[in-house]
Every structure is written in C-alpha cells, then in structure tokens.
C-alpha cells in the first residue's frame, strides 16, 4: 500500500501536534489536562481531543469498539478505528493545526499499531499503513509514551471502580504484547517519541513533557511538517 501525501501536499499552519500513548490506566488523561493548563498559561490556543471519540461520528465509533456487547472481528475493529481517524484528522486536527493551535490528543495511530496490530495479532506494518492512509500521512510532532507494567495499570483501573471496556477487559498477555510493541515503536522512532515511566509522580512527568515540548513551540512547523510515509 502506498500512502499518499496530505490532501494539499503540505501541512498548513504553524500548529503543534502532540499525542499521548500507552496502555490503559497509565495516566494519559491527567497528563493531557496538565499540559493543556500549561499551554493555556503560555497564551497558546489548545485543542484537546481523543481517538476514538473526538467528533460526533467518533462518539458512535467509540461506543461500538469499546462497549459493543459481543465479538468484533479484529480486521473489522481495525477498520472502525481507521474510519474514525480519517474523519477526525480531516475535520478536527488539520484545521486546528492550520489555525496555528496546539493539538493534544489522547491516542493516535500508534495505539492502532500496538492494540490491533500486535494485541490482536494482525500485521502491525499493515495497520500502520492503513492508519497513515486514513490520516493522509499526518504524524505527530511529539508522541509521549507513558509506560507502565500492565499489572500496575490494572491495579489503577481496579481502584477506579468502573466497568472495564472491551480492551481493558482483555487478558494480561494481550496487554503485555501491547506494551512491548509500544516500546518497540518508540525505539524505532526516537526523534518523535518521549518515553516516560508512568509510575513516577504526575508533576514530574508533566515537567519532562514540558521540557521536551518547549523547543517545538518555538520552531516554525509549516509546510511539509508532520507529513510522513511508512518506511
């Protein structure tokens, strides 16, 4: 599969695209909130969103992939995530970047590669190509991977006392595969990734994220930035 460039062949605007990745229960929501607060204090306009569920269409997809009672074939699951991604990037993320805003997004294509590619034991490279095709090649400027042992993450989820969704309810070996593949993606793309031990205090993690992001805020992004093709 050949991944096309962005619809215009360029990435418009000087916005910055930040994604938060990791297993369930690692603290992505907390870090997204802290990062949004810091950026707003700097005077930046922030769009905080998630996949799936960042649009009205995405809310419907999220209900299917996370809360449907019954089996969903792995390839169908991957295609549902890709459909959500295509609409979300086209209608929320790219317009925000064109307005020079900072997008903070909970989960993106790396989650599909880890969860559907490795967790569901599909072909991870094919899932990455599918995701890039859906997003017309858009890659984040920074991806923060919050890494945590799945057993520790499960204890956090248990403490929340909320019903598990379809992915949270998977067996430990599924979550181990997902974690290992997240780490492999980060090793393959060190320039894009910041890997942090999610067992550390939230404020320490937030400080590390700010330190890594600050130079990107001062660097003109503009034409061609963030448009990637698979290796």
Q: Does pLDDT of 131 surpass 70?
A: yes
Contact between 126 and 75 (Cβ < 8 Å): no
Domains annotated on the chain, with CATH: 16-218 (3.40.50.300)
Mean pLDDT of the chain: 87
Q: What is the pLDDT of residues 27-73, one digit of tens each?
A: 999 999 999 999 999 999 999 999 999 999 989 998 888 877 778 99
Contact between 29 and 53 (Cβ < 8 Å): no
Q: Does pLDDT of 8 surpass 50?
A: no
* pLDDT value of residue 202: 97
Looking at the DSSP assignment, which residues form a beta bridge with residue 19? Answer: 105, 143
CA 221/CA 96 separation, integer angstroms: 13
SS (H, E, C) 12-42: CCCCEEEEEECCCCCCHHHHHHHHHHHHHHC
* pLDDT value of residue 165: 60
Q: Does pLDDT of 139 surpass 90?
A: yes
DSSP class of 117: I
Q: What is the pLDDT of residues 74-103, one digit of tens each?
A: 999 999 999 999 999 999 999 999 999 999
Of 9, 19, 30, 18, the residue nearest 215 (C-alpha): 18
pTM for the model stands at 0.86
* pLDDT value of residue 220: 65
Of 214, 132, 151, 141, the residue nearest 25 (C-alpha): 151
CA 210/CA 71 separation, integer angstroms: 40
């Amino acid at each position: 599969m050949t991944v096309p460039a962005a619809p215009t062949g360029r990435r418009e605007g000087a916005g910055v695209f930040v994604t938060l990745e990791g297993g369930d229960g690692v603290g992505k929501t907390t870090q997204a909130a802290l990062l949004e607060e810091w950026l707003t204090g700097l005077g930046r306009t922030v769009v905080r969103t998630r996949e799936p569920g960042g649009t009205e269409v995405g809310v419907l997809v999220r209900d299917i992939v996370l809360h449907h009672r019954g089996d969903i074939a792995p390839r169908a699951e991957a295609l549902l995530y890709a459909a959500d991604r295509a609409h979300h990037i086209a209608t929320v993320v790219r317009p925000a970047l064109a307005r020079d805003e900072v997008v903070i997004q909970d989960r993106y294509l790396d989650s599909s590669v880890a969860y559907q590619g490795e967790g569901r034991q599909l072909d991870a490279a094919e899932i990455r190509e599918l995701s890039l095709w859906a997003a017309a090649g858009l890659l984040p400027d920074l991806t923060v991977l919050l890494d945590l042992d799945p057993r520790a993450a499960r204890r956090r989820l248990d403490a929340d006392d909320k019903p598990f969704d379809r992915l949270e309810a998977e067996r430990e070996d599924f979550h181990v595969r997902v974690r290992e593949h997240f780490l492999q993606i980060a090793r393959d793309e060190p320039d894009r990734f910041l890997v942090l031990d999610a067992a550390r205090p939230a404020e320490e993690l937030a400080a590390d994220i700010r330190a890594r992001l600050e130079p990107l805020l001062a660097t003109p992004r503009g034409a061609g930035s963030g448009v990637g093709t698979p290796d």
